[in-house]
Amino acid sequence: MDKIISVIGSYGEVVATDRIVFAISCSNSKPTAEEARESVEKRQKYITQSCINDGGKDIRENCLLTKSGEMFTFIKETRVTLSSAEKLDILRNKFVEKLDNSIKLHDTLYGFKEKTLAETSKRAFTNACKVATDKANHLCNNMDVKLGECIKIEELSADWIQNSHLANNFTEREYRCTVQAQYRIIH
């Protein structure tokens, strides 16, 4: 009967979000619909060009025109996808400094590209297996036996976890993978 050793290996990695969706809207009220639209379009042109210049991708715009009494209100919202929190900070600071109170900054969504998710998952699994192998080697050395072939690896858990100790809870997430590995022991 083969003797086996079973160990658990765990690996975690902090990853910066690489898909940030930022929304900003501009609105103005004027006596005519055309005046309201023109007033907003001037500011919006600056917003859109700034987003392009500062690395924005997938820029989308939505418009709304309403009438209340004798005034027309034109609202234009721009949603832009960014690849880093640094680019978001640059844009936010630029808009706060240069634009008036007709500009509204909306909530920001933080996430990951599919490629980042897949690569991080694969890397965490590989490194958790290495940790398990290192533990098994250490145990075998202490028992004066040799570590044989790996006969089974089982992923016990793998998930993104929210850690309050991270420097920035919104732009960083930790991915943790835990595996159980079994190896033959050679005498």
HEC states along 62-96? Answer: EEEEEEECCEEEEEEEEEEEECCHHHHHHHHHHHH
pLDDT at 166: 53
Condensed to tens digits (0 to 9), the pLDDT of residues 106-126 reads 888 888 888 888 899 999 999
Domain coordinates of the chain in residue numbers?
4-16+113-186, 19-111
pLDDT at 91: 87
pLDDT at 90: 87
pLDDT at 18: 82
Q: C-alpha angle with apex 89: 85 to 91, nearest 5 degrees?
A: 115
**CA nearest to 89, candidates 135, 54, 38:** 54
pLDDT at 111: 81
Q: Which residues of the chain have pLDDT under 70?
A: 1, 162-170
CATH number belonging to domain 4-16+113-186: 3.30.110.170
Q: Could you tell me which CATH class the domain 19-111 is placed in?
A: alpha beta
pLDDT at 183: 95
* pTM beyond cutoff 0.75: no
DSSP 8-state assignment for residue 166:
S
